Amino acid sequence: MYAEVIGDPIAHSKSPAIHRFWLAKLGLEAGYEATRVTDLAAYFAARCRDPGWRGCNVTAPHKLAVIPFLDEASPIGAVNCIVPADGRLTGLNTDVDGIVEAVAGADCSKVVLIGNGGAAKAARRALADAGELVNVTRQNIENAALIAGATLIVNATPLGMAHAGPMPAVLLAALPSAAPDAIVLDMVYEPLDTPLLQAARAAGLRSVDGLAMLIGQARRAFRLFFGAEPPSEHDAELRHLLSEGTSQV
């Protein structure tokens, strides 16, 4: 049996490293691959005929595009995990689980969410109980006043990633106006220590890198694919393995 991650491009994905690490620790005879997919119709037609296929993770640019091929999809409006069962394909969003794990215990009385794409949709669901949720988008991203008093700041955009644009300097400069004990989560992990996280620490805030969310979202997917619990006692070793090089899920 095997699962995989699909996208285009895909060679840089860390998902195989995570799932293979857990499979090896548990001694399970299964595989996990990274598959470049450009034709979703042909891909699903082939996989649905393969009895060894246990499902797939989904990354850019397919998180929205896969939905028409599914029998059931997450109401979030973005899918990052697909599981076959009884001839049906179900699309889920385990990014929600990853975000919840990454910010466990955070004060969510004022959340500033940067972004409005698929990752931001997951963040909205994960942070549904926030006292106040302020959405920073392309239209208002230069408005530094939005950061004032924030207890949790989440970057759900590629800004700060090696091949994307930078986080606007005005937002970085506004971080000292956040609550003194605020947490800043950056979903980006290429680089792992982003300018946003560096600025957060300089402002005396707690920083949480993208690996926390990445590992968290993979846990639920692993359970769904392989019917086993990922061995969390090896998380430190896994983080070290993933930190040796950074890439996209």
Active site residue 63: yes
pLDDT in tens, the chain (249 residues): 999 999 999 988 899 999 999 999 999 999 999 999 999 999 999 999 999 999 999 998 999 999 999 999 999 999 999 999 999 999 999 999 999 999 999 999 999 999 998 899 999 999 999 999 999 999 998 999 999 999 999 999 999 987 789 999 999 999 999 999 999 999 998 899 999 999 999 999 999 999 999 999 999 999 999 999 999 999 999 999 999 854 445
- The CA–CA distances, whole Å, from 93 to 30, 107, 124, 159, 162 equal 23, 23, 12, 22, 25
Residues 6+ apart with CB under 8 A from 222: 18, 19, 22, 228, 230
Active-site annotation holder among 14, 25, 63, 121: 63
DSSP letter (8 states) at residue 232: G
Domains and CATH numbers, the chain: 2-93+212-243 (3.40.50.10860), 97-208 (3.40.50.720)
pTM of the model: 0.90
Q: What is the C-alpha separation between 158 and 163, in angstroms, rounded? A: 9
